[in-house]
Amino acid sequence: MAVTKEFLKEEREQAWRVDIRKLLKNKERTALTRVHMGEVDAKKRILSNVEVNTGLTEEEAMAEARRCLDCPDPTCISGCPVEINIPKFIKRIEQGDVLQAAQVLKETSTLPAVCGRVCPQEKQCEAQCFYQLKMKKEPVAIGHLERFAADYERESGQISVPEVAAANGVKIAVIGSGPAGLAFAGDMAKAGYDVTIFEALHEIGGVLKYGIPEFRLPNSIVDVEINNLEKMGVKFENNFIVGRTATMEDLKEEGFEGFFTASGAGLPRFMNIPGENYIGILSSNEYLTRVNLMDAANPKTDTPIVSGKNVAVIGGGNTAMDSVRTAKRLGAERAMIVYRRSMEEMPARVEEVKHALEEGIEFLNLTNPTEYFADETGRVSKMRVQKMELGEPDASGRRRPVVLEGSEYDIDVDTVVVSVGVSPNPLIPSSLPQLETTKWGTIVVDEEKLQTSIPEMFAGGDIVRGGATVILAMGDGRNAAAAMHKYLQDKQNV
């Protein structure tokens, strides 16, 4: 299933691609400027959950597609964890055949409408674009084009289902329905396997459903992609916790021969500072699950949420941005990011930080909480913070924050969302004592094959990496599918 250089070259030499390259000279192409995607005005969008980015029009997409040089050595592909044939789909857009472009995406990607929205393209495909690498110009807007093609196909009502090989009757169990599990299931279904995804929650999608908010990734879009997997024959069992509802042994008895564990890093970390268990202090997982999965802000649902007037979100990652922007939409007067390093070290996507600033989010950088105080009912009312300055770089290369002595002060808060990272979910490892894990609780795998210490079990995504990104999880899913396919074939041939 891997994309080889020879294959890419062969595809590039196809007549339609050669014709399109001839339409414009490279000089004319590079003279074009990057098209920018429309956004809903910040003042308007904070009043609802409307998606912030509005997507490209067909004209805009075709204009942007013309910038792509269809390079002989498409370095952009190496920046994509699922190796989408980027020049091919972009040239299909330039040609005006968007439905074909969408099909190209699906050759290697299970969730293009998702990735086009949430991938940090600036660190992946677009970072490896010729424009960026050699010309120091704005890269081709690969992510926007991917999103355009996937959205166009969905809205056309003519969604194509990828071709599936003849059924081979081999049953495969996928543990977890997040991006890693979905990507794995898609590839295995294509190869003819009988795939069942087991999900602990009542909805399929993992972090795509409970974590990433509607204003970045509407759940309806995730559902369309899940539907597509269903059409490919993938089965879903929700409310099913492998290791609890049934053990791996039970599933083996039911005929499952291969297992892919993608149970994620769902365990939230807290800071263990005084007062952290007062009412109104939540993990970002709880806050976002209530709002996104349980729709708690909707008065028609039973799940409650206290929205808060003064909301502080602790942390500087994407989850922190999602939480603080959610707080704003729930009516917070002050929605604050409290982060112990400076703006430059923030792990959140540049785009999310920009959107947050536009929406009136306050950034208290170089600031760290040390203690919480509550009113007489036990609800948090104040947060004590201290100022930090940046010292020498630490092991991760980021400058270490150092406490500025005597800089403590108090801030009024009624809701605090702790977003300082997650740990691997222990449910699967704890039910399989023979499974080798690291001291951090991640599952040990062979780096290439993603095979665990239990030969028929492979693993990928955050349960192997710790908290990482959607697209890396999907890449793991693809690689594990290729490796498991080979493992099962070799086993059969022995």
Among 425, 442, 451, 479, binds other proteins (CB under 8 A): 425
| 170 belongs to the binding site for other proteins (CB under 8 A) | no
Among 347, 426, 441, 466, binds other proteins (CB under 8 A): 426
Alpha-helical regions (H) of 314-389: 318-329, 350-358
Distance CA 33, CA 27 (A): 12
Site for other proteins in 241-300 (CB under 8 A): 241, 244-247, 266-268, 270, 272, 276-280, 282-283, 285-286, 289-290, 294-295, 298, 300
Among 220, 377, 396, 493, binds other proteins (CB under 8 A): 377
Distances (CA, A) of 457 to 234, 300, 424: 19, 42, 17
The answer to whether residue 239 forms part of the interface with other proteins (CB under 8 A) is yes
- Give the C-alpha separation, 27 to 69, whole Å: 10
Residue 214, CA atoms < 13 Å, CB-side half-sphere = 18
201 phi and psi angles, rounded to 5 deg = -80, 175
User: Under a CB-based contact definition with an 8 Å cutoff, are residues 264 and 207 in contact?
Assistant: yes
Instruction: Report if residue 375 touches other proteins, rule: CB under 8 A.
Output: no
Instruction: Tell me the closest approach of the beta carbon of residue 376 to other proteins, in angstroms.
Output: 10
User: Considering beta carbons, is residue 145 or 222 the nearer one to other proteins?
Assistant: 222
Which of 54, 57, 160, 238 contacts other proteins by CB under 8 A? 238
In angstroms, what is the minimal distance from the CB of 213 to other proteins? 16
Q: Which is nearer to other proteins, 132 or 283 (CB)?
A: 283
For other proteins, give the closer residue by CB, 57 or 239.
Answer: 239
Going by C-alpha positions, the residue among 351, 320, 299 that lies closest to residue 120 is: 351
Residue 336 or 427: the one with the smaller Cβ distance to other proteins is 427
Q: Which is nearer to other proteins, 107 or 237 (CB)?
A: 237
Nearest-approach distance from CB 266 to other proteins, in angstroms: 3
Non-local CB neighbours of 288 within 8 Å, separated by 6+ positions: 210, 211, 213, 319, 322, 323, 326
Q: Site for other proteins (CB under 8 A): which residue of 38, 96, 255, 378?
A: 378
Of residues 276 and 345, the one with the C-beta less far from other proteins: 276
Number of residues located near other proteins, criterion CB under 8 A = 42
Residue 292 token pair: 């996104």
Given the rule CB under 8 A, which of 47-55, 60-68, 121-129, 195-203 is the region that contacts other proteins? 195-203
Which of 6, 41, 249, 302 lies at the binding interface for other proteins (CB under 8 A)? Answer: 302
The answer to whether 99 and 149 are in contact (CB under 8 A) is: no
| Stretch touching other proteins by CB under 8 A, among 92-100, 353-361, 424-432, 449-457 | 424-432
Q: How far is the CB of 171 from other proteins (least distance, A)?
A: 17
In whole angstroms, give the CA distance from residue 254 to residue 378: 50
Contact 172, 195 (CB under 8 A): yes
Residue 387, strand partner residues: 367
Query: Is residue 200 near other proteins by the rule CB under 8 A?
Result: yes
In Å, the largest CA–CA distance within the chain is 75
Question: What pairing do the DSSP bridges indicate for beta strands 256-261 and 171-175?
Answer: parallel
Closer to other proteins by Cβ: residue 148 or 210: 210
Q: How far is the CB of 277 from other proteins (least distance, A)?
A: 6
- DSSP sequence for 146-203: HHHHHHHHHHHT-PPPPP-PPP---EEEEE--SHHHHHHHHHHHHTT-EEEEE-SSSS
Three-state DSSP class for 442?
A: coil
The least distance separating other proteins from the CB of residue 480, rounded to whole angstroms, comes to 22
- The one segment of 158-166, 174-182, 373-381, 403-411 that binds other proteins by CB under 8 A: 373-381
Minimum Å gap between C-beta 78 and other proteins is 34
Interface with other proteins, residue 433, by CB under 8 A = no
| Residue 441 within binding range of other proteins, rule CB under 8 A | no
Q: Are 385 and 338 in contact (CB under 8 A)?
A: yes
HSE-CB of 406 using CA atoms within 13 angstroms: 0
Token readout for 340 is 């112990």
Q: What kind and span of H or E run contains 493?
A: helix 470-493
Q: Among 40, 306, 343, 454, indicate the residue that binds other proteins (CB under 8 A).
A: 306
SS3 415: strand
Contact status: 24 vs other proteins (CB under 8 A): no
Interface residue list for other proteins (CB under 8 A)? 200-202, 238-241, 244-247, 266-268, 270, 272, 276-280, 282-283, 285-286, 289-290, 294-295, 298, 300-304, 306, 377-379, 425-427
